[in-house]
């Protein structure tokens, strides 16, 4: 046989010593596999080359192995040792690909080996290898489900991973192996939410769908019961999330974690990946308060411009959504207009949506569109349009008559399909208001001879029977005609003929008795047993004889009972039982493995399960440069201990030390983006050679930097920083005790205390924002400006105070080229906002600036210019805004306070308003005045706050000692004594106020 012969020659090539021949042979073999031809007899010859040095050859062998290992299990085992060796390779790429292939070989006997490999890879330093191990988990699970328990352990471990690379894959494994173990997610929930934007697109889809389910089990429903919701109103102001949060004075309060999920998924609506956009859309649909759902509309409409297949799925989902929420898509109705070039199923879906969106206001436009569609050359589509017109007619009573007249006109159409469909639809419409339409019924009776489509004929017959009293002369004649052609008709027409006969017999037996008998006799011997059945039944019911008992008395009532008009419903009416965006939704049937979305719990489960034990806000010193200096895991022990010494030395120094070796974290939490970038680069340069050990950390600063790190609100940012240090500990442990890392809790705690770091954590510096006026619109010729201090680290330079300016155009013309002009004093360092090219009337825009006040309350004067005018304005900061919070322990606070005695101390006794007696009230007042951080205090009558001046980073320590009465002793320790006295004055005033 020729194929065997050819394979012989391939075998020869594989056994030759020439690499190029082997490669050529493998390429041809892969060609065979791709074409679906068998190449299994070459297995022994191929498997020998698994250890080849040539990477391409090796890869092709892998392809072959994965394809045929199942068939040749014994021979496949020969290759296993090669993979085991490769799993220990120093090159992460080789480790990962070895694991990939090993786990793809579906040979049950190697399950233990795979298990071991997965466990090792899950603890690998390279996130890429860890990602591969997450994929391997699924493969092993499908090979041997008994391994579930052990695999769950690995999943649990990998879920803790902070790498964005791993997150998507491990959630995928979780979904496959143990989707019921919701408890594994709790602790990782917030982390997953925060990492989401930086995860690769495919992982995002998986994580979003998992979190949708999670949220449905953990949070209470945001859809208030009974509260009828004004769709339109909310549609217009749903953009402002803040507004919503404030107005929630109702009993329902959204769990902050629920809000976190909604907030963090929102930017993904801008993804280029249609699956991600759809995933977010379904998340909002299933989780968001009703009035927020509409923010997904625009993005979904955008997807309609994508490929045909994408359109199909998106339109299906919009169809389901538009039934429940017309208002969401109504403004975009024109986007659903049909083009003659659309594929038929796209046209039908658009039609469905247009029908769903029809209401009194837009029906005339929609009907005009429909008129065009009815004439379409695509007859299936024209027929669907007629049905749609019928639906509009029943749903909107104003247009019923118009639609009916239109449909009657269509009865004279040349195309039979159109006529038939019109008849069917008219039949349904007539049922809704039968009284006035005798004429139409007559008209249809006339048409009867020309109509051949069975469904249409049956419809006319039914109408005749049902309204036979309105057309007493015509109906018997139609029956007569039917009697002639009965045997040649379709089943459905025959059934209706029998029906018509029965009804006429009851109402007009004089004329039709014989006809009915004749038809019943024909039906009795029909081929179809349904018709025989029906005939027999009807005969018993209507023809009186001795045996027919009580029933025939009621025959009239049974057959001529008034029938409720059919409700013309959307085909998508019941699709909402499936989660949007799923395969099941698309097919409208439950696909294998479809998980129903759980209903909201009545009472939310414990929220605290999601709290992550935060490393005590203690001071940890982490030297990033040290990380990058580590050469490889084997020398870690050594360098690890070095660093211990180093860092314990460092811990003696005060945290104001701003030298290069002081904590990288402090910098990165406050530094501007550009600085971070620089640092990352220097780090990168150092890393290049030491990749294996360092690459696990390379991504951490990157998290802050790419994506949107620098713009994250402070808290999120810090979460990331904390997670980074978590990782760092694991790393150290790993280095020091590579064998039994996770089993050494004592080391772990001691490890933490060994490191010394001082990073700024802000817990509660969000006071109410005070807004100040910068420029009144009267003086600004229509331009008004307000500013406030957002109390966030300034993006531009660490020594600057961030200021946000809200510019509003209250004039009646657009303002152009709004920018900052001359500044005074000249030494003042201001980071201006980018020139605003154009501000429309009534519009406003928020811009951020950075101003270095050099720790003085001297006002920053500058000119706010438009194209035509210049306005001098000034920003005078309150002294409290020149600070930034610093978190420290009570001991540190006392220690530092001890160093700032004498002339560095300012104190005063103040009288407090009674309302400020509680600790919370005090905190609130202090934080509203000054941007400082609270220091945990063990004494009840002491409140302590720590901060630094933004520009020179001098410590500012505030302590407030409450005495018996309403008096208190306020002490401020800082080098900046001028600031201290000003701060004292401000605080005194604030605390005295109620």
Partner 1 sequence: MNHSQGFLKDIQISCLVVGWLLSNTASIILSFRVWGGQSMTDSAPSWFFYSAEMIHSLFLINHLGDIFLEKHWKSVISRSVCDYFFEAREKAVDPENVPPVLQTPHHYLISIYRGKLFFLSVIQTEVPPLFVIEFLHRVADTFQDYFGECSESVISDNLVIVYELLEEMLDNGFPLATESNVLKEMIRPPNILRSVVNTLTGGSNVGETLPQGQLSNIPWRRAGVKYANNEAYFDVTEEIDAIVDKSGTTVSAEIQGVIEACVKLSGMPDLTMSFMNPRLLDDVSFHPCVRFRRWESERVLSFIPPDGNFTLMTYHISSQNLVAIPVYVKQSINFFEAGSCGRLDITIGPKQTMGKTVEDLKVTIHMPKAVLNANLTATQGNYTYDCTTKMLVWDIGKLNPQKLPNLRGSLSMQTGVPNPEENPSLNIDLKIQQLAISGLKVSRLDMYGEKYKPFKGVKYVTKAGKFQVRT
Size of the site for partner 1 (CB under 8 A): 156
Residue 36, interface with partner 1 (CB under 8 A)? Answer: yes
CB under 8 A, 24+ apart: contacts of 149-153: 150/115, 150/119, 151/118, 151/177, 151/178, 152/177, 152/178, 152/181, 152/184
Question: Which region among 204-212, 245-253, 472-480, 777-785 touches partner 1 (by CB under 8 A)?
Answer: 204-212
CA distance 700 to 723: 9
Within 105-200, where are the H helices?
Answer: 111-122, 127-143, 148-159, 164-177, 183-186, 189-195
CA distance 823 to 787: 17
Residue 632, interface with partner 1 (CB under 8 A)? Answer: no
Give least dist CB 402 to partner 1, A.
20
Residue 41 or 200 with smaller CB distance to partner 1 = 200
Residue 217, interface with partner 1 (CB under 8 A)? Answer: no
Nearest partner of 903 among 853, 855, 842, 972, judged by Cα: 972
Within 737-792, where are the H helices?
Answer: 745-754
CA distance 719 to 669: 11
Give least dist CB 867 to partner 1, A.
14
Residue 982 and residue 925 in contact, taking contact as beta carbons nearer than 8 Å: no
Residue 412, interface with partner 1 (CB under 8 A)? Answer: no
CA distance 803 to 862: 14
In the region spanning residues 374 to 403, those forming contacts with partner 1, defined by CB under 8 A, are 375-377, 387
Residue 361, interface with partner 1 (CB under 8 A)? Answer: no
Residue 689, interface with partner 1 (CB under 8 A)? Answer: no
CA distance 520 to 523: 5
Query: Which residue in the set 202, 252, 747, 942 belongs to the binding site for partner 1 (CB under 8 A)?
Result: 202
Residue 755 or 796 with smaller CB distance to partner 1 = 796
Query: Which residue in the set 133, 194, 271, 628 belongs to the binding site for partner 1 (CB under 8 A)?
Result: 271
Q: How far is CA 474 from CA 441, 463, 496, 508, in A?
A: 10, 12, 16, 12
- Window 131-170: contact mask with partner 1 (x via CB under 8 A): -x--x--xx--x---------------------xx---x-
CA distance 877 to 336: 53
Give least dist CB 87 to partner 1, A.
15
Query: Which residue in the set 218, 499, 628, 670 belongs to the binding site for partner 1 (CB under 8 A)?
Result: 499
Residue 500, interface with partner 1 (CB under 8 A)? Answer: no
- Helix pair angle (745-754, 636-650), 10° resolution: 50
Give least dist CB 798 to partner 1, A.
18
In the region spanning residues 294 to 323, those forming contacts with partner 1, defined by CB under 8 A, are 298-299, 301-302, 305, 307-310, 312-314
In the region spanning residues 726 to 765, those forming contacts with partner 1, defined by CB under 8 A, are none
CA distance 602 to 217: 10
Residue 848, interface with partner 1 (CB under 8 A)? Answer: yes
Residue 564 or 898 with smaller CB distance to partner 1 = 564
Residue 202 or 737 with smaller CB distance to partner 1 = 202
Give least dist CB 300 to partner 1, A.
10
- Provide the token pair at 242: 């803040």
Query: Which residue in the set 15, 33, 359, 907 belongs to the binding site for partner 1 (CB under 8 A)?
Result: 33
Query: Which residue in the set 15, 120, 144, 201 belongs to the binding site for partner 1 (CB under 8 A)?
Result: 201
Residue 674, interface with partner 1 (CB under 8 A)? Answer: yes
CA distance 895 to 35: 76
Query: Which residue in the set 769, 840, 963, 985 belongs to the binding site for partner 1 (CB under 8 A)?
Result: 840
In the region spanning residues 435 to 494, those forming contacts with partner 1, defined by CB under 8 A, are 455, 458-459, 462, 466, 492
Nearest partner of 274 among 322, 314, 235, 226, judged by Cα: 314
Residue 112, interface with partner 1 (CB under 8 A)? Answer: no
In the region spanning residues 705 to 724, those forming contacts with partner 1, defined by CB under 8 A, are 705-708, 711-712
Asked whether the CA dihedral 629, 635, 640, 645 is positive or negative, the reply is negative
Exposure class string for 455-488: b at 16+ Cβ within 10 A, else e: ebbbbbbbbbbbbbebbeebbbebbeebbeebee
Burial of residue 226 (number of CB atoms within 10 Å: 0-12, 13-18, 19+): exposed
Residue 295 and residue 284 in contact, taking contact as beta carbons nearer than 8 Å: yes
In the region spanning residues 758 to 817, those forming contacts with partner 1, defined by CB under 8 A, are none
In the region spanning residues 327 to 346, those forming contacts with partner 1, defined by CB under 8 A, are 331-332, 334-335, 337, 339-341, 343-345
Alpha-carbon Rg for the chain, nearest whole angstrom, is 39
Residue 377 or 965 with smaller CB distance to partner 1 = 377
Omega within 30 of 0 (cis) for the link into 794: no
- Provide the token pair at 546: 């001795």
Residue 17, interface with partner 1 (CB under 8 A)? Answer: no
In the region spanning residues 37 to 96, those forming contacts with partner 1, defined by CB under 8 A, are 54-57, 59-60, 62-63, 67, 70, 91-93, 96
- Window 873-902: contact mask with partner 1 (x via CB under 8 A): ------------------------------
Residue 273, interface with partner 1 (CB under 8 A)? Answer: yes
Residue 179, interface with partner 1 (CB under 8 A)? Answer: yes
- Window 594-623: contact mask with partner 1 (x via CB under 8 A): xxx---------------------------
Give least dist CB 504 to partner 1, A.
15
In the region spanning residues 577 to 596, those forming contacts with partner 1, defined by CB under 8 A, are 581-584, 586-587, 589-596
Query: Which residue in the set 76, 125, 170, 424 belongs to the binding site for partner 1 (CB under 8 A)?
Result: 424
Exposure class string for 58-76: b at 16+ Cβ within 10 A, else e: bebbbbbbbebbeebeeeb
Residue 348 or 925 with smaller CB distance to partner 1 = 348
Residue 440 and residue 430 in contact, taking contact as beta carbons nearer than 8 Å: yes
Question: Which region among 436-444, 609-617, 700-708, 856-864 touches partner 1 (by CB under 8 A)?
Answer: 700-708
Residue 227 or 343 with smaller CB distance to partner 1 = 343
Local structure of 313: helix, strand or coil = helix
Residue 955 and residue 976 in contact, taking contact as beta carbons nearer than 8 Å: no
Residue 436 is classified by DSSP as T
Residue 220 and residue 601 in contact, taking contact as beta carbons nearer than 8 Å: yes
- Helix pair angle (2-15, 19-34), 10° resolution: 140
Residue 199 and residue 230 in contact, taking contact as beta carbons nearer than 8 Å: no
Residue 677, interface with partner 1 (CB under 8 A)? Answer: yes
In the region spanning residues 548 to 577, those forming contacts with partner 1, defined by CB under 8 A, are 551, 558-559, 561, 563-564, 566, 568-569
Residue 35, interface with partner 1 (CB under 8 A)? Answer: yes
Nearest partner of 208 among 197, 224, 219, judged by Cα: 197
Q: Do the bridges between strand 860-865 and strand 883-885 make them parallel or antiparallel, or are there none, so unpaired?
A: unpaired
Nearest partner of 168 among 124, 199, 193, 140, judged by Cα: 199
Question: Which region among 407-415, 517-525, 823-831, 978-986 touches partner 1 (by CB under 8 A)?
Answer: 407-415
Beta bridge partners of 884: 948
Residue 104, interface with partner 1 (CB under 8 A)? Answer: yes
Residue 418 or 979 with smaller CB distance to partner 1 = 418
Residue 462 or 942 with smaller CB distance to partner 1 = 462
Residue 198, interface with partner 1 (CB under 8 A)? Answer: yes
Residue 384 and residue 396 in contact, taking contact as beta carbons nearer than 8 Å: no
Residue 47 or 206 with smaller CB distance to partner 1 = 206
Residue 618 or 846 with smaller CB distance to partner 1 = 846
Give least dist CB 462 to partner 1, A.
6
Give least dist CB 592 to partner 1, A.
5
């Amino acid at each position: 046989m020729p194929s065997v012969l050819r394979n012989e020659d391939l075998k020869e090539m594989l056994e030759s010593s020439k690499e190029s021949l082997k490669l050529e042979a493998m390429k041809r073999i892969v060609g065979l596999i791709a074409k679906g031809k068998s190449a299994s007899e070459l297995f022994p010859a191929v498997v020998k080359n698994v250890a080849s040095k040539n990477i391409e050859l090796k890869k092709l062998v892998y392809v072959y192995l994965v394809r045929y290992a199942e068939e040749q299990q014994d021979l496949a085992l020969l290759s296993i040792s090669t993979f085991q060796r490769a799993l220990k390779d120093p090159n992460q790429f080789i480790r990962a690909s070895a694991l990939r292939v090993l786990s793809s070989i579906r040979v049950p006997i190697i399950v233990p080996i795979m298990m071991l490999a997965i466990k090792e890879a899950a603890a690998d330093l390279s996130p890429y290898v860890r990602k591969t191990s997450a994929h391997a988990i699924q493969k092993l699970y499908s090979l041997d489900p008994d391994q579930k328990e052990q695999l769950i352990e690995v999943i649990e471990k990998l879920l803790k991973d902070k790498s964005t690379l791993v997150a998507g894959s491990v959630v995928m494994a979780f979904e496959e192996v143990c989707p019921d173990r919701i408890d594994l997610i709790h602790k990782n929930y917030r982390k997953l939410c925060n990492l989401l934007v930086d995860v690769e697109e495919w992982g995002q889809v998986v994580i979003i769908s998992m979190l949708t389910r999670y949220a449905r089990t953990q949070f209470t429903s945001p859809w208030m019961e009974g509260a009828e919701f004004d769709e339109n109103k909310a549609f217009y102001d749903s953009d402002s999330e803040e507004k919503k949060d404030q107005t929630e004075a109702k009993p329902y309060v959204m769990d902050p974690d629920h809000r976190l999920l909604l907030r963090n998924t929102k930017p993904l609506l801008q993804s280029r990946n249609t699956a991600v956009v759809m995933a977010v859309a379904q998340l909002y649909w299933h989780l968001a308060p009703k009035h927020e759902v509409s923010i997904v509309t625009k993005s979904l409409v955008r997807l309609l411009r994508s490929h045909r297949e994408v359109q199909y799925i998106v339109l299906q989902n919009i169809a389901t959504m538009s039934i429940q929420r017309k208002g969401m898509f109504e403004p975009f109705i024109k986007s659903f207009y049909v083009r003659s070039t659309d594929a038929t199923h796209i046209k039908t879906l658009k039609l469905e949506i247009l029908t769903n969106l029809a209401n009194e206001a837009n029906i005339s436009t929609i009907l005009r569109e429909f008129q065009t569609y009815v004439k379409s050359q695509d007859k299936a589509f024209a027929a669907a349009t007629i049905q749609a017109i019928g639906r509009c007619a029943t749903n909107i009573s104003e247009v019923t008559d118009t639609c009916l007249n239109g449909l009657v006109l269509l009865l004279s159409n040349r195309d039979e399909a159109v006529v038939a469909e019109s008849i069917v639809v008219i039949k349904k419409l007539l049922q809704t208001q039968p009284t006035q339409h005798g004429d139409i019924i007559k008209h249809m009776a006339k048409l009867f001879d020309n109509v051949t489509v069975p469904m249409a004929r049956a419809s006319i017959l039914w109408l005749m029977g049902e309204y036979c009293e309105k057309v007493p002369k015509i109906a018997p004649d139609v029956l007569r005609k039917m009697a002639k052609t009965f045997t040649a008709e379709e089943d459905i027409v025959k059934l209706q003929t029998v029906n018509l006969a029965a009804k006429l017999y009851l109402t007009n037996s004089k004329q039709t008795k014989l006809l009915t008998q004749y038809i019943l006799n024909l039906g009795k011997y029909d081929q179809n047993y349904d018709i025989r059945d029906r005939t027999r039944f009807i005969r018993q019911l209507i023809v009186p004889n001795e045996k027919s008992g009580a029933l025939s008395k009621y025959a009239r009532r049974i057959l001529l009972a008034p029938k409720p008009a059919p409700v013309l419903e959307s085909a998508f009416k019941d699709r909402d039982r499936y989660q949007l965006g799923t395969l099941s939704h698309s097919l409208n049937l439950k696909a294998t493995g479809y998980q129903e979305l759980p209903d909201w719990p009545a009472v939310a489960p414990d929220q605290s399960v999601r709290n992550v034990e935060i490393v005590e806000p203690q001071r940890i010193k982490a030297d990033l440069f040290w990380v990058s200096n580590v050469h490889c895991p084997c020398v870690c022990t050594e360098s690890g201990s070095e660093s211990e010494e180093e860092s314990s030395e460092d811990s003696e120094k005060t945290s104001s030390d701003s030298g290069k070796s002081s904590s990288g974290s402090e910098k990165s939490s406050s530094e501007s983006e550009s600085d971070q970038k620089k640092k990352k680069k220097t780090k990168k340069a150092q890393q290049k050679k030491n990749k294996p050990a360092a690459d696990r950390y390379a991504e951490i600063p990157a998290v802050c930097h790419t994506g949107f790190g620098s713009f994250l609100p402070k808290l999120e940012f810090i979460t990331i920083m904390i997670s980074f240090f978590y990782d760092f500990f694991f790393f150290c442990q790993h280095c020091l005790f590579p064998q039994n890392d996770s089993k050494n809790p004592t080391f772990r705690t001691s490890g933490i205390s060994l490191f010394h770091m001082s990073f700024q954590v802000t817990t509660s510096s969000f006071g109410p924002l005070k807004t100040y006026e910068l420029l009144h619109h009267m003086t600004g010729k229509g331009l008004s400006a307000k500013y406030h201090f957002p109390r966030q680290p300034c993006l531009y330079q660490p020594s600057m105070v961030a200021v946000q300016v809200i510019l509003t155009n209250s004039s009646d013309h657009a303002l152009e080229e709004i920018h900052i002009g001359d500044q005074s004093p000249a030494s003042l360092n201001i980071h201006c906002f980018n020139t605003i090219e154009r501000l429309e009337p009534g519009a406003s825009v928020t811009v951020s600036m950075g101003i270095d006040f050099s720790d003085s309350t001297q006002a920053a004067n500058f000119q706010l210019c438009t194209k035509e005018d210049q306005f001098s304005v000034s920003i005078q900061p309150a002294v409290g805004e020149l600070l930034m919070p610093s978190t420290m322990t009570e001991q540190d606070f006392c220690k530092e306070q001890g160093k700032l005695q004498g002339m560095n101390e300012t104190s005063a006794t103040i009288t407090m308003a009674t309302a400020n007696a509680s600790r919370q009230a005090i905190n609130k007042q202090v934080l509203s005045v000054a941007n400082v951080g609270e220091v945990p205090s063990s004494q009840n009558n002491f409140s302590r706050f720590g901060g630094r001046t933004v520009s020179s980073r001098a410590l500012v320590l505030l302590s407030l000692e409450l005495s018996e009465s309403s008096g208190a002793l306020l002490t401020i320790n800082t080098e900046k004594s001028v600031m201290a006295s000003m701060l004292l004055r401000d605080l005194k005033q604030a605390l005295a106020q109620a």
